[in-house]
Amino acid sequence: MSIEFTDKIRRIPVYPTAGGYSLGADFAMLASNEAPFGPMPSVIEAATAALAHVNRYPDPSNMGLRRALAGRYDFPPERIAIGSGSCDILLSAAEALLEPGAEVIYGWPSFSVYPQMAAATGARAIEVPLDDEDRYDLDAMLAEVTAATRLIVLCNPNNPTGTAQPLQAIEAFVERVPRDVCVILDEAYIEFSSLQDTESSLDLARRNPNVVLLRTFSKVYGLAGLRCGYALCGDERFRVAVEQVRQPFFCNTLAQVAAEEALRHQDEVRRRVDLVVAERVLMVQTLRDLGLTVAESQANFIWHALPEETDEEAVLDGLRERGVLVRSGRALGRAGWLRVTLGTAEENLRYLAGLRELL
């Protein structure tokens, strides 16, 4: 006899986390779309000072951080939800919106947590293939909307392809979605996009109660290890619902304090984005010069094909031997492709040198 688990434990796919966290500092960790930059110095200071008070639970209302975000975006604080990473908000949204008989629509390949949203709740997942340019196919997604649709997730820029739809296309899409269907626009990488500035999609959530913009401190702010994300919600009831399904004190003190401080340094954010974009241009050009097909990235990572008949696993192993970790396309939904996060200039060169040798 052994203990018996729920059906959903059989359904939920194992999240394809990247390995390598115990490998040591010499490894180029280009597998998880993190920033190569550490936290900003004043963020380290603020978090260190807050450490002295962790005998207390964190502020359950996250009010300091919500007010800071409200000030930054000129957005009502009661419509800002905080999470222990934006994944936390995604999974809570699934719990709040989905159930057996309901449907959730998203593009594929896309972020590996979306299938989990359906599997955890018993809802039906409608995975819509990307278009010819590896972007979310918005018309094809609209064609999948039925009376059972409760949630649509748009990943823009998309992980793992890095591609993005222009804001006008997203706006036109939202116009055509029934008002009782929630649209989560997952903008984890929006700061890196050259197609729009960070503020321009906010109007979507101002004008449409069914729209939620999802963002994170894990990428450009360099706080992935602390876990903090947020949602700018068209309707306050979204925030209340995702708080209702979670444990109290869902975002820890250090994460709240660090995120609030990080927000004050938009000049540094712009500097980091410029560095990443310069590396992106260089990397894309070099990969294309090698004759590889490369998706049009608006993010801090690049999705590219390997030459036909290449043994993907052998390339991954060879890169690992050369001190570089990247993600296999097979694990992310398309065999024969790789996803490489932009690291420091030295790490990116190491990747390119390794790839050149292996191909």
Ligand X SMILES: Cc1ncc(COP(=O)(O)O)c(C=O)c1O
Q: Name the token pair of 58.
A: 């964190």
Q: Does 121 bind ligand X (CB under 6 A)?
A: no
Please state, in angstroms and as integers, the Cα–Cα distance from residue 171 to each residue in 67, 166, 168, 196, 202, following that order: 27, 9, 5, 13, 11
Q: Does 223 bind ligand X (CB under 6 A)?
A: no
Min CB(87)–ligand X separation in Å: 3
Selected binder of ligand X within 73, 75, 106, 111 (CB under 6 A): 111
Q: Does 257 bind ligand X (CB under 6 A)?
A: no
Min CB(334)–ligand X separation in Å: 16
Stretch that binds ligand X, among 82-90, 205-213, 260-268, 279-287 (CB under 6 A): 82-90
Min CB(327)–ligand X separation in Å: 11
Contact set for ligand X, span 283-312 (CB under 6 A):
none
Selected binder of ligand X within 145, 172, 195, 224 (CB under 6 A): 224
Selected binder of ligand X within 50, 138, 188, 352 (CB under 6 A): 188
Min CB(189)–ligand X separation in Å: 7
Selected binder of ligand X within 92, 121, 149, 159 (CB under 6 A): 159
Question: Closest CB to ligand X among 154 and 316?
Answer: 154
Stretch that binds ligand X, among 6-14, 79-87, 129-137, 259-267 (CB under 6 A): 79-87
Q: Are 232 and 184 in contact (CB under 8 A)?
A: no
Binding stretches for ligand X (CB under 6 A): 33, 85-87, 111, 155, 159, 186, 188, 216, 218, 224, 229
